[in-house]
Amino acid sequence: YEQLLAARAAPLDETKKMGTVGAVARDKFGNLAAATSTGGMTNKLPGRVGDSPLVGAGCYANNASVAVSCTGTGEVFIRTLAAYDIAALMEYGGLSLADACERVVMEKLPALGGSGGLIAVDHEGNVALPFNSEGMYRAWGYAGDTPTTGIYRE
């Protein structure tokens, strides 16, 4: 118990940063899936619920359009329903995956002071990975191909 208290009182080890992790996928039948997991309780307010567990905010999937997993300023992703907004822009606005993601990440989130990014795959297998932060760890690939990774802008 004393060790736990001491560990909580110590400054955070910057080499052990934790953050949100997510995945999106399209299977051979065209089914879409998305998953998002928060980085945990480190530096979080007690009782706070972030965007990760809120369908439509930090995570969303619909076979008709897109699967999305988000990371960033959770409160802004909640206010904008960022993940669902991409699906709505595609379904009702006729935007492509790239255009819908770009509008949400580069326009709507910053307008409310939000930063972050997302990963998304549409029903045709197109992938988008936009972010408005300095960097975002990400990887993507297709069956039979070598996966690609990235951190900063290419």
- Which residue has 């998305």 as its token pair? 34
Tokens of 89: 């822009």
* Kind of pairing between the strands at 59-61 and 21-26: unpaired
- The reply to whether 73 sits in an annotated binding site is yes
Q: Give the span between the Cα atoms of 153 and 116, in whole angstroms.
A: 13
Q: Mind telling me the catalytic residues?
A: 20
- The reply to whether 94 sits in an annotated binding site is no
Q: Give the span between the Cα atoms of 100 and 86, in whole angstroms.
A: 5
Tokens of 154: 């290419």
pLDDT at 45: 73
Tokens of 30: 């065209």
- The reply to whether 51 sits in an annotated binding site is yes
* Kind of pairing between the strands at 32-37 and 66-72: unpaired
pLDDT by position in tens, the chain (length 154) = 566 556 556 554 454 455 788 999 999 999 999 999 887 666 667 777 777 777 888 899 999 999 999 998 888 898 999 999 999 999 999 999 999 999 999 999 999 999 999 999 999 999 999 999 999 999 999 989 999 999 998 7
**Cβ–Cβ under 8 Å, residues 36 and 50:** no
Q: Give the span between the Cα atoms of 43 and 57, in whole angstroms.
A: 20
Direct distance between the N- and C-terminal alpha carbons of the chain, in angstroms, rounded to an integer: 46
- The reply to whether 72 sits in an annotated binding site is yes
Domains and CATH numbers, the chain: 19-40+47-132 (3.60.20.30)
Amino acid, res. 99: D
pLDDT at 43: 64
